[in-house]
Chain A
Amino acid sequence: MDFLKKYTYQLLIGGCVLAALLFFSLNVPRSREANVIERTTLSLLSPLLQPVYRFSGFVEDIRDRYLLLVDTHNENIRLREDIRALNLRVHEANEALLENWRLEQLLNMKKRFKEPMIAASVIGEDVTSWFRSLVINRGSSNGVRGGMAVISAEGVVGQTVKVSATTSRVLLLTDHASGISAINQRSRARGVVKGRGEMNCSLEFTTRGEDVKVGDILITSGIGGVFLKGIPIGEVTMVKRGEYGIFQTVSVRPATNLPHLEEVLIVQRGGYE
């Protein structure tokens, strides 16, 4: 008895441990089932667990939706920047593609003729509305002289006037002061294409008897030495033969889209100092 009295505490602890181990070992085979203790405990706790869980969900929502929104906002800004940068790159790529296409057309035109040519970009236009001229970024330092022909991939643009060291003015074929000797590509009828100020021209000095029809293409005749022979000038849009008079009235639409011109070629032939 003395032994029991002396070691009561240790024996109690050992018994408890043993009971716990026994309890555990007995429940191992039914580990997937809820026993009475589990069921009762869960039933008792569930009224408490539910609102607490909801509350913690609410707190989590606050954290995710509001506190973490700072990151979302920053991320949103970054993504928008990315989209903007990508859009810019797509735009630049498209622009480069179009420029490449235009320059290819210009190169094809350059290959057709043996004369040396200089490529130039349009950098300005006439400040008044009744004269038609352009400013290009090539001048005497690049070998440009006054009176040289300026062409585009589509056809005639005009000729250089007032050349400075780095820039030149181009008198467009639509200017009133411009006149270019022309031939009708189909009938070989001759005339002079004169500017009419607007974005169109007229074929002058073509006699009534000459065969000119709407849709005919006019090309440079090569007479005068400024323009090479065979460059498209424009298309005939109207022909009017009056009852009287020696000449017929012919309207011409320029082959080159002059208001949207960006790159041109200067033919290095002739010209004056």
Chain B
Amino acid sequence: MSRRSALLLFFIVITSIVVQVSLLPIFVISPFKPDLLLVIMVFIALRGPFEAGAPLAWILGMLNDVCSGLFLGLNAATFLISFLIIKSVSGRMYAGSSLLFVLTVLGVTFVNFALSLILMVLFTTTSGIVYSMFTDFLPHLLINAFVASVVTLFPNFDEQVPTT
């Protein structure tokens, strides 16, 4: 990843966190909070190099954990697993496709949900959270897909991320 890409990514991640923590909760009701860091992770998984992408996915998950819930490392683990799943198949696909990006975000939202659910049931004692997660799942899925589709409208979306 070039220095310019890294700086741009850093800026986008920081902006996303600020928007997600302080801005969106004022205007958006709870189930419709988009997972901006997840969308960024999917973008990196589809376009970026593996060596930089894997630790980045974990870091993005950690950032998500810092701003959410009690369990540090939960999203870090699910993001990393999701990244590895995407990376294992992304080489055989046309990663520049907008439709593929939206579908991947949908799929990863589902995978992330399932993994979080499994990890929390296995390792924590927050029994009632399953109900909340299920009730919020569909709006969460739809809003993430919406955000992903908005991202595809950005100029230069089709460009490959420079790797050097």
A positions within 8 Å CB-CB of B: 123-131, 133, 135, 161-162, 171, 176-177, 194-198
Pairwise interchain contact B126-A177, C-beta atoms closer than 8 A: yes
Interface residues on B, range: 20 to 34
A130 touches which of B17, B66, B129 (Cβ 8 Å):
B129
Chain B residues with CB under 8 A of A126: 25, 67-69
- Bound together, the chains give a CA A133 to CA B71 distance in angstroms of 12
Q: A163 to chain B: closest CB distance in Å?
A: 13
B30 touches which of A124, A129, A162, A196 (Cβ 8 Å):
A129
- Bound together, the chains give a CA A130 to CA B134 distance in angstroms of 9
Secondary structure type dominating chain B contacts: helix
- Bound together, the chains give a CA A124 to CA B17 distance in angstroms of 10
Can you list 9 A-B contacts (CB < 8 A)?
A124-B25, A124-B67, A126-B67, A127-B21, A127-B33, A127-B67, A129-B30, A196-B128, A197-B132
Chain B residues with CB under 8 A of A177: 70, 124, 126
Pairwise interchain contact A131-B35, C-beta atoms closer than 8 A: no
B positions within 8 Å CB-CB of A: 17, 20-22, 25, 30-33, 35, 37, 64, 66-70, 124, 126-129, 131-133, 135-136, 139-140
- Bound together, the chains give a CA A171 to CA B70 distance in angstroms of 8
Pairwise interchain contact B69-A131, C-beta atoms closer than 8 A: yes
- Bound together, the chains give a CA A126 to CA B20 distance in angstroms of 8
Q: A21 to chain B: closest CB distance in Å?
A: 91
Chain A residue nearest to B16 (CB atoms) is A127
- Bound together, the chains give a CA A198 to CA B124 distance in angstroms of 19
Chain A residues with CB under 8 A of B131: 196-197
- Bound together, the chains give a CA A115 to CA B70 distance in angstroms of 27
Chain B residue nearest to A171 (CB atoms) is B70
Chain B residues with CB under 8 A of A130: 69, 129, 132-133, 136
Pairwise interchain contact A125-B126, C-beta atoms closer than 8 A: no
